[in-house]
Structure 1
């Protein structure tokens, strides 16, 4: 019998997840959640980790994910994407965790390596993100450069300024108001970038979450 559980929240909402695949949606994973799943009388055959807790609770450890893989070899598959899932999948890809999506590839290739690249804060009730993850910023600014919304030099300035902020403070509105940005990027570029970010910017975390659900292949 197939049973799939996906831990998701800010990256993709539960209603969207449920509409894309027959899974049980749980809030962002924290330490102990997977151990509890495995202790149930009928543990899941598929576990998807999209979002996880950073400041809100203890982070899920690589060892806990490994216990899921090693305890039921061949019968429990663990997938990761987008946020905490991408981070853990990059660490554990050689141990059997299945990584999916652009954010996973960024970690796997070494393009990014810090936890704060995917860390965000979120409303504990609605699970709505309260800031912008650094990986999303990188992907969105890269897309803006590719589409000639801003120059490559201006894009590098915006990304560097965003990286300097503590992760809960990263919002596009705050980033574009920073002196390091306003003093070096022209007003026309800033106006064009604001419009792009409001209307056309890709959402790497959400896109990767959708890719994870498809990769789980639950029919």
Structure 2
């Protein structure tokens, strides 16, 4: 397997990739997958992360070309989930909770998986993907810490921002205003809500189970 990933790969995911002998490549950009297929590669391709703001993003045509050539192509977590949803009727396989959000949430948009991060490993993040904040707000509503209306208002305010401005600090300010409680008391740890990372870990765990 060749896996294109970066900021969505946790330490656990990286460890599993090493254990499984998966070839790791940086977030995909236009023609990366086409060039891989042109080398004669016909194995599994897992698209997790991809660049899209600085350079041209991975194309639909090259993904379809990989499928046509006989590769099994999975889309997970970030750019992978976006492309898998767009090509769901053409043989690309979408995996995970982020992928399912495109079906389940009527107002879910591509930029909700995006974040600003350091361009080189370990890809330190400077913003928080809105999809993680959605999961957090859903949990807080379930716990009755905030009302669904207040939660939706927070999402709407964050959706109106450029994705690079959706920081934890901004989320904290909005949540504290809506709840009257300290952010640290309501959300002591964001890790459980980072489903982009969890989706990749689950995908790799399932490979381990069947390998």
Judge same fold: TM > 0.5, yes or no: yes
d(CA) in 2 for partners of 1:61 and 1:215?
27
Gaps of 5+ in 1: none
d(CA) in 2 for partners of 1:107 and 1:215?
22
Q: Does 1:195 align with 2:191?
A: no
d(CA) in 1 for partners of 2:42 and 2:73?
10
Shift of 1:108: 3.4
d(CA) in 1 for partners of 2:118 and 2:149?
35
d(CA) in 1 for partners of 2:154 and 2:108?
19
1:1-219 alignment to 2 at 5 Å? 4-13=1-10, 15-21=11-17, 22=20, 23-41=22-40, 43-72=41-70, 76-109=71-104, 111-126=106-121, 127-177=123-173, 185-188=178-181, 191=182, 193-199=183-189, 201-216=192-207, 219=211
Shift of 1:203: 1.0
Distance 1:120 1:40, change over 3 A: same
Distance 1:148 1:163, change over 3 A: same
Distance 1:164 1:208, change over 3 A: same
d(CA) in 1 for partners of 2:105 and 2:148?
21
Given that 1:10 and 1:129 are in contact with CA atoms closer than 8 Å, whether structure 2 keeps it comes out as yes
**What whole-Å deviation, never above 9, does each CA across 1:137-166 have from its counterpart, x for those lacking one?**
111111121123322222122211111111
Given that 2:129 and 2:166 are in contact with CA atoms closer than 8 Å, whether structure 1 keeps it comes out as yes
Gaps of 5+ in 2: none
Given that 1:5 and 1:44 are in contact with CA atoms closer than 8 Å, whether structure 2 keeps it comes out as no
d(CA) in 2 for partners of 1:65 and 1:194?
42
**RMSD value, Cα:** 2.1
Runs of 4+ in 1 over 6 A off after TM superposition: none
The aligned length equals 205
